[in-house]
């Protein structure tokens, strides 16, 4: 294999074997602790613009599957792994076909320990031992524009009409709604209140997506009007956007939550659930918007994992209820949302 290098803006360099495309791409270097689901992770639009490091050493050992991808294409800037098990070269070909460079044979433990020392680490994968890089990365709004749909798309044939505002949605969210008898219209995040209103939805879902939610500040007014009009569920980025639209605050985490083993406590029931997460921003503790209560907290670092409006049918979660990281603990979030839609939000009264 050709030798390759991961150059960090911290001055650190990690050497490995090149896989995938032979090109250099710059992005924020992040890591996921998931032990399975590498295909789903690679195709999650929330990783757009990032160089993704897999903490679990054995990647590629069970191949790729036609139905496992979360989007039509991967949006990552690069892939780093300790061991690559890819006997039929499917994963290498997959990365190459999308122009994504990667490195295997990296000491990922040392890399993650390095990343954890810094707020934001930018890196580039290159076949060159020395690079001259300005460390420029794509802006958050640009990433969202690349991952959103360009025009409305419809799915399912149910009687409950859900409009999903798309910032870079995962296919599993769509499938969870269709499975529950919903007719789903996926629209670009730039859709106005009037455009959404013409679609006559019964409920709204604000999807996950990449980047800093504050980059969408020009859309906060429209999002607030939309969520005030119809029962709304926000997921991941959608959770942060609801907080911001109602005057709250968000903040960037040191390393983010990326993996499938994050414990979250439901403050109403007291139960702790294992969740799948992928985000670098959270609602600030001191920035909870007026009119909302906290519904879930992260057991590890006590960050806010969900909020609910006191009088309007608006609820959101930071974790991914559609993901099944072993258990299906949080699948009920969709059932509750559909029940709220069916009653026009009267369950909040």
Confidence of residue 280 (pLDDT cuts 50, 70, 90): very high
Give the residue numbers spanning the domain of 150: 146-348
Confidence (pLDDT) at 288: 96
Instruction: Kindly state whether residues 172 and 100 are assigned to the same domain.
Output: no
Residue-wise pLDDT tens digits, 93-108: 999 999 999 999 999 9
Q: Which of 74, 104, 138 is the last residue of a domain?
A: 138
Instruction: Kindly state whether residues 338 and 228 are assigned to the same domain.
Output: yes
Instruction: Kindly state whether residues 274 and 332 are assigned to the same domain.
Output: yes
Instruction: Kindly state whether residues 178 and 124 are assigned to the same domain.
Output: no
Instruction: Kindly state whether residues 214 and 294 are assigned to the same domain.
Output: yes
Confidence (pLDDT) at 326: 66
Judge whether residue 347 has pLDDT over 60. Answer: no
Distances (CA, A) of 16 to 1, 86, 105, 127: 9, 16, 5, 10
Confidence (pLDDT) at 312: 96
Judge whether residue 345 has pLDDT over 80. Answer: no
Judge whether residue 348 has pLDDT over 50. Answer: no
The span from the CA of 182 to the CA of 162, in Å, is 7
Closest by CA position to 34, among listed 207, 249, 275, 267: 275
Confidence (pLDDT) at 324: 74
Q: Which of 115, 138, 161 is the last residue of a domain?
A: 138
Q: Which of 86, 112, 138 is the last residue of a domain?
A: 138
Classify residue 77 as left (phi > 0), alpha (psi -120 to 50) or beta: alpha
Enzyme catalytic residues: 236, 320, 322
Mean pLDDT of 67-77: 95
Instruction: Kindly state whether residues 226 and 331 are assigned to the same domain.
Output: yes
| Tokens of residue 65, six digits | 């599957």
Instruction: Kindly state whether residues 150 and 97 are assigned to the same domain.
Output: no
Confidence of residue 34 (pLDDT cuts 50, 70, 90): very high
Report the CATH number that the domain containing residue 93 is assigned in CATH: 3.50.30.20
272-283 β-sheet, strand order: 153-155, 182-188, 160-166, 203-206, 232-235, 314-317, 304-309, 292-298, 250-266, 272-283
Confidence (pLDDT) at 131: 87
Q: What proportion of the chain, given as a percentage, has pLDDT over 90?
A: 87
Closest by CA position to 104, among listed 38, 54, 43: 54
Residue-wise pLDDT tens digits, 304-333: 999 999 999 999 999 999 987 666 789 899
Confidence (pLDDT) at 349: 36
pTM score: 0.95
Instruction: Kindly state whether residues 108 and 157 are assigned to the same domain.
Output: no
Sequential DSSP letters for 265-304: EETTT--EEEEEEEEEEEE-GGGPPTTEEEEEEETTT--E
Instruction: Kindly state whether residues 168 and 105 are assigned to the same domain.
Output: no
Instruction: Kindly state whether residues 131 and 159 are assigned to the same domain.
Output: no
Report the CATH number that the domain containing residue 317 is assigned in CATH: 3.40.50.880
Q: Please give the tally of structural domains in the chain.
A: 2
Instruction: Kindly state whether residues 106 and 151 are assigned to the same domain.
Output: no
Residue-wise pLDDT tens digits, 153-180: 999 999 999 999 999 999 999 999 999 9
Confidence of residue 1 (pLDDT cuts 50, 70, 90): confident
Instruction: Kindly state whether residues 126 and 154 are assigned to the same domain.
Output: no
Mean pLDDT of the chain: 94
Mean pLDDT of 297-303: 97
Residue-wise pLDDT tens digits, 200-213: 999 999 999 999 99
């Amino acid at each position: 294999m050709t030798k390759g290098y991961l150059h960090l803006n911290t001055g650190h360099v990690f050497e490995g074997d090149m896989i995938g495309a032979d090109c250099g791409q710059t992005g924020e270097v992040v890591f996921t602790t998931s032990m399975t689901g590498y295909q789903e992770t690679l195709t999650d639009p929330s990783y757009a613009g990032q160089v993704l490091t897999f903490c679990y050493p054995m990647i590629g050992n069970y191949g790729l599957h036609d139905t496992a991808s979360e989007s039509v294409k991967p949006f990552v800037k690069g892939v780093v792994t300790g061991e690559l098990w890819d006997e039929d070269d499917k994963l290498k070909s997959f990365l190459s076909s999308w122009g994504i460079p990667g490195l295997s044979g990296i000491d990922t433990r040392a890399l993650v320990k390095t990343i954890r020392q810094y707020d934001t680490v930018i890196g580039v994968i290159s076949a060159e031992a020395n690079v001259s890089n300005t460390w420029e990365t794509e802006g958050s709004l640009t990433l969202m524009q690349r991952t959103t749909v360009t025009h409305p798309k419809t799915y399912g044939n149910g009687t409950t009409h859900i409009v999903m505002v798309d910032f870079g949605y995962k296919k599993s969210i769509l499938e969870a709604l269709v499975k529950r008898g919903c007719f789903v219209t996926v629209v670009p995040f730039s859709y106005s209140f009037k455009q959404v209103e013409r679609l006559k939805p019964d409920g709204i879902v604000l999807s996950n997506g990449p980047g800093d939610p504050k980059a969408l500040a020009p859309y906060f007014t429209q999002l607030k009007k939309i969520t005030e009009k119809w029962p709304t569920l926000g997921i991941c980025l959608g959770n942060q956007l609801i907080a911001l639209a109602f005057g709250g605050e968000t903040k960037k985490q040191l390393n983010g939550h990326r993996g499938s083993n994050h414990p979250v406590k439901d403050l109403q029931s007291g139960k702790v659930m294992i969740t799948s997460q992928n985000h670098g921003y959270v609602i600030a503790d001191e920035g909870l918007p007026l009119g909302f209560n906290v519904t879930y907290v992260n057991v590890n670092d006590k960050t806010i994992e969900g909020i609910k409006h006191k009088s309007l049918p608006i609820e959101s979660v930071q974790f991914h209820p559609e993901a099944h990281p072993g258990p299906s603990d949080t699948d009920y979030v969709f059932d509750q949302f559909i029940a709220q839609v069916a009653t026009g939000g009267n369950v909040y009264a």
